[in-house]
Amino acid sequence: MFTPEDLERQFTLLTAVERYDTLRTREALASPAEEDDSESASADRPLTREEALELLALGEVIARKASYGRQLTVRSARRAGASWSQIGAALGTAKQSAWEAHQRWIDEQARHQGEGHWGWDGDEVAAARALAGEPEDREPAE
């Protein structure tokens, strides 16, 4: 059976999206099960149970990897002088929500330290929190 944890190690974001797209396209183009015949082309056949479960797990892997990448970009935006209002607008959310999501991401990086992951140590967490600031911090001049 496929789990996001297993697939996360096997796929990059790009390769996960490619495999997801292949399975999703086949799922969308498949003949309805009641009309299925064994002679249909492979592109038209419904997904097997294993493929459907792989598709579900791949969707979760893509969401996780995209979320991590989003927070890296939030950090880059802060480093470049973007305000939390600007970041929230770019994410389609309020500045408070954007800031809170980023704080949770920083917490997660701290938790991964020493668990076979490349988590952050105390100094790195402190630097990330300093860069993040508070959502009420003065807006930079535009």
Average pLDDT across each block of 10 residues of the chain; the chain has 142 residues. List them in order.
89 95 93 57 80 96 90 94 96 95 90 63 90 76 50
Domain containing 124 equals 83-142
Output the pLDDT for position 120. 82
Output the pLDDT for position 12. 92
d(CA 7, CA 53): 12
Residue recorded with tokens 């996360």: 8
Output the pLDDT for position 38. 54
Q: Which of 28, 2, 29 is nearest to 16 (CA)?
A: 2
d(CA 127, CA 62): 28
Q: Which of 90, 44, 52, 49 is nearest to 71 (CA)?
A: 90
The answer on 52 and 23 residing in a single domain is yes
The answer on 87 and 71 residing in a single domain is no
The answer on 58 and 88 residing in a single domain is no
Token pair for residue 19? 């495999």
Widest Cα–Cα separation across the chain:
66
Give the length of the chain: 142
The answer on 61 and 10 residing in a single domain is yes
The answer on 71 and 3 residing in a single domain is yes
Q: Which of 81, 84, 105, 104 is nearest to 93 (CA)?
A: 84
Output the pLDDT for position 77. 96
- Residue 117 CA, chain-centre distance (Å), reads 17
Output the pLDDT for position 137. 60
Q: How many structural domains comprise the chain? A: 2
Output the pLDDT for position 80. 96
The answer on 67 and 91 residing in a single domain is no
Output the pLDDT for position 116. 52
Could you give phi then psi for residue 113, rounded to 5 degrees?
A: -60, 125
Token pair for residue 91? 């994410």
Output the pLDDT for position 139. 57
